[in-house]
Amino acid sequence: MGYLTEEQHKIVSDAVGEAELNTSGEILTVLADRSDGYSDIIQLYCAAIGFTAMSAFAAFPQPFMNIWDGFVGGWGHEWSIGELASMTIGLGLLAYLASTLIFLSDAVRFALIPAPTKTTRVHAQAVKHFKVGAERRTRGKTGVLIYLSMREHRAEIVADDSIAEKVSPEVWGEAMADMLVEIKAGKVAEGMAVGVRDVGFVLAQHFPRDEDDENELPDRLIEV
């Protein structure tokens, strides 16, 4: 199930069509649920939790042994080296498996992923979508991607080389700020439409529409 209704998709698509009336630039919009599953980060977390549990037992074994003896071994139970080793490994595996199950929750997963990691991977995914869907696919190399990743709460604007030579990143930052004001208020379609209009205004200044201009990229919002 997508984030936006058909009517909300139309808001974004109409904004793209309107913005491109005044520029030879082409605007592509992509809305993603997430940019990465972060399985490598989660595995590191789970491994760290498992080793922490093993270290805790190694440093303070008696409380764990007392709990185990209360259920199974009895007060007179003598622990062998093999049993101690097995308990250490078992606690580590139990902690690893328990944390793996906890991290299956998207709420927990995305809350604990470091912010710089989210930023890096959202940017990488935006660049990937741009290379596939927009880079050098226009006659004048004037494609721009507006990318929004919902789970990470991040957005990216990626432009073709011809545009990047004339428009500084700070300009796109202003467009992003305007877009995020609406998105933070829960108006995702309206926010993307604002971003499209800002980008279109900038493109019109540097790349005005030619008389024989053709629509080379789809106006519709792509949800992935």
- How far out from the chain centre does Cα 58 lie? 38
Per-residue pLDDT tens digits for 61-114:
777 777 766 666 565 667 677 777 877 888 889 999 999 999 999 999 999 999
What pLDDT is stored for residue 140 in this prediction?
Answer: 64
d(CA 190, CA 206): 25
Tell me how crowded residue 85 is: count the other CB atoms within 10 A of its CB.
10
The predicted model gives 126-153 an average pLDDT of 82
Domains defined along the chain, listed by start: 6-36+115-223 (3.10.310.50), 39-111 (no CATH)
Among 198, 143, 201, which residue's Cα sits nearest to residue 173?
Answer: 198
User: pTM here?
Assistant: 0.80
Residue 1, pLDDT > 60, answer: no
Residue 139, pLDDT > 80, answer: no
What pLDDT is stored for residue 45 in this prediction?
Answer: 94
**Beta strand ranges found along the chain (DSSP E):** 26-32, 143-149, 154-159, 222-223
